Amino acid sequence: MAPHHYAIFSAQYLPSMGGVELFSDNLARELVHEGHQVSVVASARKGAPAREDRDGFQVVRLPAAQLLDGRLPVTLKDAAYRRIWGRLLDEDVDRVLVNTRFYPHSLEGLRFAAEKGAPAVMLEHGSAHLSFGIPAADAVVKRWEHLVTARARAARPVFAGVSLAACSWLEHFGIKTDVVINNAIDAAAFRDGSSGRDFRAELGIAPDAFMACFVGRFVAEKGPLAVLDAARLLPEVSFVMAGAGPEEDHIRAVADYLPNVSLLGRLGREDVSALFGCANCFVSPTRSEGMATVLLEAGAWGCLPVICPVGGVADVLGDSGWGEICGASADEVTAAIARLAVLPAEERARRSAAFRERAETGFTWAHTAAQLDAAYPCA
């Protein structure tokens, strides 16, 4: 693989925590490891420097207003923007990767590629429209997505998806592609990075009790309320929920009446690793994912999933039967958890080992970098 200089446009980046942010960071590290140059171009956030060096690559942040509780960064084209943009154009970038399709920042990435005369890949990370759980707002968001996507199509990048489902979702916008650039994980590093916290001991959960965990944003589309409904119907199962978000007050109010539910707030990645090491199953009744980082993190520990058939679930699980693939309703989630809870310990251990092996070997960053490299000849 000849050395290249990649510009990775990611509307959000660390210290903001999310799947796309982690994808951008880990892919940048792998590309540097393979001998490439990398510039990550993100949106400015309060407290984050306009430019920084991170382990062999640079991060540049374009001025932006963080709207909708940080979910919609909008680029501000002020004097600082023009200065930073000019410096970026002076870089010898010859490949551009744009993560996600619906941010104004994504269009900036495509404009940068055009001005540099560099091929661009636009990578889809979702499998459904964005949702705020408010019908009127969701209708506006859908219209917005279609408008931005039309502008992106006009730039003629190579479109790709982080999963088969993400590729299929692009067909909704009239985009056909079979180019997959999977999300990935360094499973051993994720386990080694565990904080080592014993959440069972901290929360008074017996070593032999069945423990289910939820890790994600407390927003309607991720399904935390279905998890609470399952907890009400399965008092013998211990539920541990890690996350924060707009639904947090409601979730706390409901959880106060459920003695088998523990809320941990938002956890750092080290504690998330420790939590997966303690739990028997990971519950994710989400309605939209591209290829969830958290599913791969659960896999790194062999924490069996109860998950809806969205995003990269087919890529990771296929028809393996390791976990439970179910609908997003409370009844379906409850039944799926119950099926895992009554399995003999030996069968759960067998499934856990197979799931862990899949995450360990099937989704490496080296493989993802090779998929990215292969996408560019199409440009």
Q: Which of 273, 279, 295, 281 is nearest to 222 (CA)?
A: 295
pLDDT of amino acid 1: 60
pLDDT of amino acid 16: 85
Mean pLDDT, range 239-263, rounded to an integer? 97
Q: Which H/E stretch holds residue 87?
A: helix 79-90
Which of 42-51, 272-281, 288-297, 304-313 has the largest mean confidence?
272-281
Contact 54, 24 (CB under 8 A): no
**Residue for token digits 């990435």?**
109
pLDDT of residue 93 exceeding 60: yes
Contact 211, 280 (CB under 8 A): yes
Please give the share of the chain, as a percent, with pLDDT higher than 90: 82
Q: Which H/E stretch holds residue 337?
A: helix 330-341
**What predicted TM-score, i.e. pTM, was given to this entire model?**
0.88
Q: Does the N-terminal peptide bond of residue 15 adopt cis geometry, omega within 30 degrees of 0?
A: yes
Q: Where are the alpha helices (DSSP H) in 157-264?
A: 164-170, 187-192, 199-203, 224-233, 248-255
pLDDT of amino acid 310: 84
pLDDT of amino acid 17: 77
Query: pLDDT band at 258, cuts 50/70/90?
Result: very high
Mean pLDDT, range 214-230, rounded to an integer? 94
Q: Residue 25 in 3-state DSSP?
A: helix
All domains of the chain in start order, with CATH: 5-184+364-378 (3.40.50.2000), 187-361 (3.40.50.2000)
Mean pLDDT, range 304-324, rounded to an integer? 89
Q: Over the chain, what is the mean pLDDT?
A: 94
Strand boundaries in the chain, DSSP class E: 5-10, 37-43, 51-54, 57-62, 64-67, 72-75, 95-99, 120-124, 158-161, 211-215, 238-242, 261-265, 281-284, 304-307, 324-325
Query: pLDDT band at 319, cuts 50/70/90?
Result: confident
Mean pLDDT, range 359-378, rounded to an integer? 93
The 8-class DSSP code of residue 311 comes to T
Measure Cα distances from 50 to 46, 71, 116, 132, 280 in Å.
Answer: 10, 19, 22, 30, 42
Query: pLDDT band at 36, cuts 50/70/90?
Result: very high
